[in-house]
Amino acid sequence: MFDFFKQGKKNKQDSTDSITWNPRLIEQFEAIIKMTPVLFRKSARAAVTETAEDIAKNRGATQVEECDLVNAYLKETPEMFKESLFENALKVGIDMASYLSEKRLNKMKALSTNIAWDQVEQVFHPDVTWFEWAVTQKCNLRCRYCFENAGTASQDELSTKAALSIVHSLGASAKKLNRRFVMLWSGGEPLLREDIFELIGAAREEGMLCTMASNGSFITPEMAQRLKDAEVSTVIITLDSLTPDIHDAARGKGSHAEALRGIHNAKAAGLLTMVESVATRHNYKEVTKLRKWAEKEGFLYFHRPLHRGGRTLTDDSMMNRKQYHQLYFDRYQHIFEKLKTGKGTHIPLFEIFDLVPFPYKPLTREERDYLEWGVGCQACRLIHGISVSGDLLPCIRLKMPLGNLLTETFETIAQTPLYRRFVLRQDRGGICKSCEHLELCGGGCLAETMALEGDPFAGWERCCWVTKE
Ligand code: SF4
Ligand code: SF4
């Protein structure tokens, strides 16, 4: 199986070379692309171009016309973005709505989201630094594989004054380092912290972008509107299955219905709503179905595999290597095929985020550029964690304090040898030590290695790519 990912044929001749574009249409297409959120601009240009040319060829034409471009856009654009796409197209003289029946148009409008794109773009821009902050350990649920062991409030929880001092300290660090910080308010259930809106307000004043990870239980229409008014740009709500019993078995009776209500309320308020599943041996076969459902309903979708840590140390929900491999296989296959056929630009940034392990060695500088954002372990790179007591962690799942933000600044901690050891991705033991993929992979999930071995750099013996069953 592993051989599949060794480099194959590259730069297959593009079969669409012979087709031309109506010159007026090129200008209109470029104008629409300029109005497309940065996050999707590159992949949208590549995918829509290819599809429009294919459609034109299939109808026997040698030139791409407006109908081909519109049909390509309809095919390639997720439902949630179609309404704003139509508005942009109209600005440059293409009336996409006229290509659709009234019934289809109404359906599309129902699925679109009126989101604040400027904020969302900034939040998911490749050069931002994320901090996932477990602001409380309080939670109304008792999910069986929670890595925080959440439930009741921790004795270490910070007062409002102390939490605000961390917000201000990070704000000052961001300015000093000339970087954009994104706060991911997390927990426990962050909405159970009474001062959460005060903290969000302070972070916004410091110029930080705000997102929230919630179980959705408290996201009523009023709460969703409050989050929107507080300029929280994205809400991430966990949904592990479309079957209530599977989700409820892990997170508690009725939690599926509450999560769904929260997801719909968040979207209705105009928040970019991301549905996240934790993949376990109970639901890993369902993630493709979940993705299709989420995209059809107008949500972003993301899954992450369950790793050992917190309550998972004693829970049996983990996938075995074979299941883990199966979970990621489609995603890897899609990405590597695009790279090998010279179509790296077709890969949306979301698709390469959080792939651990990452068993591919780029052949060219160009390929490397496509992959640099978000591939492999992101601890101390794209993301950090902050514990309930204010410790800076390499990632929220990796319980190894690097320093405490009540007494030290982020930039001071970022200069320590331990922090640099995470960033540099060189110094890893075990099977990762001499692995040819280490540079991009980072050594698998260091949080799991820490939970199992007590040393995050020991090498990820669970790696499903280089170890045998
Ligand atoms: S052995 Fe380690 S570095 Fe290599 S692919 Fe697996 S997790 Fe990544
Ligand atoms: S330690 Fe694991 S969970 Fe944390 S960023 Fe790395 S791969 Fe992701």
The response to whether residue 398 sits with its C-beta less than 6 Å from ligand 2 reads yes
Q: Which of 145, 227, 203, 166 is nearest to 392 (CA)?
A: 166
- Ligand 1 pocket mutation pick from 375, 378, 441 by most atoms within 8 angstroms of CB: 441
**Token code pair at residue 156:** 């270490």
- The amino acid present at 411, given as its one-letter code, is E
Q: Which atom of ligand 2 is nearest to the CA of 395?
A: 4
Q: Which of the residue ranges 87-91, 243-247, 359-363, 464-468 would you say has the lowest mean pLDDT?
A: 464-468
Between the CA of 458 and the centroid of ligand 1 the distance, in Å, is: 11
Q: Cβ-count burial of 408 within 10 angstroms (0-12 exposed, 13-18 middle, 19+ buried)? A: middle
Judged by its nearest atom, the ligand closest to the C-alpha of residue 429 is 1
Q: Which of 116-120, 173-177, 207-211 comes out lowest in average pLDDT?
A: 116-120
Measured in Å, residue 412 CA sits from the centre of ligand 1 at: 30
Choose the residue to mutate in 131, 358, 446, 450 for probing ligand 2, maximizing ligand atoms within 8 Å of C-beta. Answer: 446
Say which residues have a Cβ less than 8 Å from residue 52's Cβ, sequence separation at least 6. 64, 68, 69, 71, 72
pLDDT of residue 290: 94
CB-count exposure of residue 29 (10 Å: 0-12, 13-18, 19+): buried
List, for residues 11-70, the tens digit of each pLDDT value.
Answer: 434 444 589 999 999 999 999 999 987 778 888 899 999 999 999 999 999 999 999 999
pLDDT-derived band at 281, boundaries 50, 70, 90: very high
Pick the atom of ligand 2 nearest to 356's CA. Answer: 7
Which pLDDT score is estimated for 2? 41
Q: What is the mean pLDDT of the chain?
A: 89
**What is the per-residue pLDDT across 370-408, written as a single tens digit (0 to 9) for each?**
887 789 999 999 999 999 999 999 999 999 999 999 999
Q: Which carries the bigger pLDDT value, residue 12 or residue 269?
A: 269
Q: Which range (183-187, 285-289, 346-350, 406-410) has the least confidence?
A: 346-350
Which of 377, 437, 446, 453, when mutated, tests ligand 1's pocket best, judged by the most ligand atoms within 8 Å of its CB? 437
Q: Ligand 2: does its nearest atom lie under 6 Å from the Cβ of 378?
A: yes
Q: Is the CB of 442 under 6 A from ligand 1?
A: no
Please provide residue 441's backbone torsions phi and psi, each rounded to the nearest 5 degrees.
-80, -40
For the segment 308-328, the average pLDDT, to the nearest whole number, is: 83
Tell me the DSSP string of 168-187. HHHHHHHHHHT--EEEEEES
- Tell me how far apart the alpha carbons of residues 456 and 428 are, in angstroms, rounded to a whole number: 8
Q: Which amino acid is at 170?
A: L
Residues comprising the chain, all counted: 469
Give the nearest ligand 1 atom to 436 CA. 4
Any ligand 1 atom below 6 A from CB of 303 = no
Calculate how far, in angstroms, residue 429's C-alpha sits from the geometric centre of ligand 1: 10
Give the mean pLDDT of 446-465.
Answer: 91
Q: Is the CB of 443 under 6 A from ligand 1?
A: yes
H-state helical runs in 64-159: 66-76, 79-91, 102-111, 117-123
Give the Cα separation of 58 and 55 in Å (integer).
Answer: 5
Ligand 1 atom nearest 438 alpha carbon: 3
Ligand 2 pocket check: which of 304, 445, 449 to mutate, most ligand atoms within 8 Å of Cβ? 445
Ligand in nearest proximity to the CA of 428: 1
Give the mean pLDDT of 184-209.
97
pLDDT, one tens digit per residue, over 100-122 is 988 888 887 776 666 666 667 77
Rounded distance between C-alpha atoms, residue 341 and residue 161, angstroms: 55
pLDDT for the residue numbered 410: 98
CA angle in degrees (0–180, nearest 5) for 26-125-418: 145
Percent of the chain with pLDDT over 70: 94
Q: What is the pLDDT of residues 339-372, one digit of tens each?
A: 888 888 888 777 788 788 998 888 888 888 888 7
The phi and psi torsions of 385 (rounded to 5 degrees) equal: -120, 155
Partnered with residue 403 across adjacent β-strands are 392
Residue 159 pLDDT level (bands cut at 50, 70, 90): very high
How far, in Å, is the centroid of ligand 1 from the Cα of 361?
Answer: 12
Q: How many helices (H) and strands (E) does the chain have?
A: 19, 11
Q: From the CB of 300, is ligand 2 less than 6 Å away? A: no
φ, ψ for residue 86, nearest 5 deg? -60, -40
| Per-residue pLDDT, 117 | 66
The residue whose CA is least distant from atom 6 of ligand 1 is 463
Report the distance separating Cα 451 and Cα 147, nearest Å. 10
Counting from 1 in the atom list of ligand 1, the atom nearest the Cα of 442 is 3
> From the CB of 446, is ligand 1 less than 6 Å away?
no
Of 381, 380, 362, nearest to 371 (Cα)? Answer: 362
> What's the CA angle centered on 215, arms 211 and 221, to 5 degrees?
75
* Closest among 277, 204, 182 to 239, alpha carbons compared: 277
pLDDT at 352: 82
Mean pLDDT value across residues 286-304: 88
Cβ of 309 below 6 Å from ligand 1: no
